[in-house]
Amino acid sequence: MDAITMFVACPRYMYFLSAKANFQYPIFGTIIKILGCIPVTRPQDVERINGHGIVTVIEDGKIVTGEGLGTQVQVGDVLYVEFEGPDNKEVLKEACGTVEEIIDKNKVRIKEPGMKWLTKGRRKGQFRRLVEYGSLVIRVERGNTLKTLESLNFMPKSLTKSVSRSFDRLSSSPGVLPHQIHDQIHDQQPDEIVIHPSNPAATERTPLIAESSLNHKRNPSVRSVRSTMRPNFPPVPGIPTTFTYTHMPPHSEVYSAVYDHFSQSHSVCIYPEGASHDNEHMLTLKYGCAVMSLGYLSSNEPDARGNPRKLKLVPCGLNFFNRHRFRSRVFAEVGPPIEIKEELIEMYRAGGESKRKACQQLLKTIQKSLAELTVNAPDYDTLLFFKTASKLYREKLLQELDFPEKLALLRRIAKKYTSVIPPSDEARNLKQEIVNYTQILRNHRLSPPHMSKKPITLIFYLPLFLILATLTIPGLLLFCPIGFVARYVGKKQGENAMLYDDNSLAITRWPGRDVIATWKMMTGIAMFIAFDLFYSIISIHFLQKSRMYEFDNREQIFIFGTCLFFFFWTIVAYSTILLWEMTCWVGKRVWVGLWSIANPKERKSLERWKDELSVRVWKWVESNN
């Protein structure tokens, strides 16, 4: 979806990077070749080289010894050792580590944390579960006990009374957590996993603690989560075994196809922000964008036209609104181009520490430019404060803002709040009140703009809702299976992405949201074609059986069926989508009117609260503090 957005938004033709291994897939590989994607070799795609001799892992996986090992591998190579399990169902068979130092010709040092086990593909499911903690989804791994969650400030110690004793029991009966209640926490910390204390039928989707206790939580930083939430696997045994290793080619070879496109003045689009789509703020950028930029400019060779090499980096911000929902909005904003200083190019040419510093400086510049084009918040409550404060601020405006102006206002509020660390007492108190106000509205299935609608509007919206619902029902009955299946597939693929992909965040509110939209779109297109074809055949068969229309030959049947397939049922499906959107929009207004009539006192109280917050937000935004 990100690639499609950039294709539509940018006037120039874009070339995207894709893993070289993806080009080998039968259908997907053909598509990306047609689009002109650029193949890039990833570390996991490099072909393994069989090592000569036997090696042994010692010192808790920090050292690997073997005759002639130091003469075969180089610093930066990834070393793999494999062990024969008692049967083919063993999960832990292979371990790997990155070579940090060649001690001598028979001994190498492995980079921290040493040799680690590899759990391949869906075997990881035997070591991981997704658990809900309020509105958060946590990827729980072996070794993530109650004390681990306490150290992350996820739950108070007074609530840590419910643990399950055996992770193996959980693995043998997926979907159901064993229910064990203990009076106190075991000091040895067995392989535990947290479950809801009051629900004996708890499943992996059950919240860790009751909703009433959620005010104790505090969101941890991504760094603390990544450093703490690790599987508690057994150490790699010191058994002599065979080994393989991979050697990454130099950057000039890895990015050679990218350099060729740069040389021909083509635009190359990359996404260096990793898993930011699952977070409230951008994560640290990856070094690839800086390496390929400086690597191209550091060469003294001319470009394809014989001119000196030139390159500009153009930051683009993609601001999605409910990106996992069909026909949701996205705003693509292009920032000023980044000129790469000659000083950084010379530092990159020098190599060593200067090369690393050059990449770091360029990466900071790119990160700053992208931050100016996106909305970043340290946590979800702060992001909720930004959005609600923007809506309350617009209540005082005489005219409606267009979409770019709304986004600019949102970024202005975010910049004002985050410009002072720590925020002022006024800003913190305002944030807390706005978050509380929003949560109360959500409990009633309302949002701040709904409070501007008067109950009398129900006279207009209720008949309109009934008319739209009547018009929508026929098409909805015909095509609703597409929506249900697409939603299920998208949700399942999003959870799988979080469960099996190590690059996904271990704790997030939106598991795999980046893949949900893609899978919804792919599933919807495939199912619509199938439903369209099925309904076209049924329509022709019905016309023939009822003798409403006589076909003289097969050519007429084919032409008529083609018209049904490409025009009639397509128009019906698209009209149903538009009518459904209008029905949902009007239905929300109907609910606001009915709720307001049923709760007049509470509505007046919320209206006064909203007016007070609007004035406070306006003064805070316009102040020079």
Render pLDDT for 90-116 as a digit per residue (tens, 0 to 9). Answer: 445 788 888 999 999 889 999 888 888
Which residue did the predictor score with more confidence, 274 or 421? 421
CB atoms within 10 A of CB 362: 25
**Cα 287 to Cα 270: distance, rounded to the nearest angstrom:** 12
Structural domain of residue 155, as residue ranges? Answer: 128-228
Predicted confidence (pLDDT) at residue 241 exceeds the cutoff of 90: no
Predicted confidence (pLDDT) at residue 230 exceeds the cutoff of 80: no
The reply to whether 33 falls in a domain is no
Same structural domain for residues 112 and 203?
A: no
What is the CA angle 445-447-449, rounded to 5?
145
Among residues 372, 390, 414, which one ends one of the domains? Answer: 372
Same structural domain for residues 384 and 480?
A: no
Mean pLDDT of 271-283: 67
Same structural domain for residues 224 and 133?
A: yes
- Contact present, 1 and 521 (Cβ < 8 Å): yes
What is the CA angle 344-350-351, rounded to 5?
100
Among residues 246, 274, 292, which one ends one of the domains? Answer: 246
Render pLDDT for 307-321 as a digit per residue (tens, 0 to 9). Answer: 888 999 999 888 877
| Per-residue pLDDT at 274 | 58
The reply to whether 15 falls in a domain is no
157-166, 274-283, 411-420: lowest mean pLDDT where?
Answer: 157-166
Same structural domain for residues 259 and 307?
A: yes
3-state SS class at 37: coil
Same structural domain for residues 472 and 397?
A: no
| Per-residue pLDDT at 457 | 84
Structure tokens belonging to residue 300: 């003294």
Mean pLDDT of 406-420: 87
Q: What is the dihedral of CA 580, 586, 592, 595, to 10 degrees?
A: -70
| Per-residue pLDDT at 117 | 76
The reply to whether 479 falls in a domain is yes
Same structural domain for residues 397 and 504?
A: no
Mean pLDDT of 389-397: 87
Instruction: Using DSSP bridges, classify how beta strands 163-164 and 55-58 pair: parallel, antiparallel or unpaired.
Output: unpaired
Neighbour-count burial for 198-231, b at 16+ CB within 10 Å, e otherwise:
eeeebebeebbbeeeeeeebebbebeebeeebeb
Same structural domain for residues 517 and 583?
A: yes
| Per-residue pLDDT at 251 | 67
Same structural domain for residues 368 and 299?
A: yes
The reply to whether 322 falls in a domain is yes
**Cα 233 to Cα 82: distance, rounded to the nearest angstrom:** 16
The reply to whether 6 falls in a domain is no
Same structural domain for residues 336 and 401?
A: no
Mean pLDDT of 255-281: 78
Mean pLDDT of 258-285: 77
Average pLDDT, the chain: 76
Among residues 329, 349, 372, which one ends one of the domains? Answer: 372
Same structural domain for residues 102 and 242?
A: yes
Render pLDDT for 181-215 as a digit per residue (tens, 0 to 9). Answer: 233 333 333 333 333 333 333 333 333 333 333 33
Mean pLDDT of 126-141: 68
Mean pLDDT of 370-393: 86
Q: Give the CATH number of the domain where residue 101 resides.
A: 2.40.33
Same structural domain for residues 54 and 93?
A: yes
The reply to whether 200 falls in a domain is yes
| Per-residue pLDDT at 133 | 66
The reply to whether 56 falls in a domain is yes
Q: Which residues contact 163 (CB under 8 A, 6 or more apart)?
A: 145, 146, 180, 182, 185, 186, 192, 193, 194, 195
Residue 332: closest CA among 403, 413, 268: 403
| Per-residue pLDDT at 530 | 92
Render pLDDT for 508-542 as a digit per residue (tens, 0 to 9). Answer: 766 777 678 778 888 888 899 999 999 999 988 88
Give the count of domains, the chain: 5
Same structural domain for residues 332 and 262?
A: yes
Render pLDDT for 607-622 as a digit per residue (tens, 0 to 9). Answer: 899 989 999 999 998 8
The reply to whether 22 falls in a domain is no
pTM of this prediction exceeds 0.75: no
| Per-residue pLDDT at 288 | 82
Which of the residue ranges 17-26, 225-234, 245-254, 466-475 has the most confident prediction, judged by mean pLDDT? 466-475
Which residue did the predictor score with more confidence, 41 or 604? 604
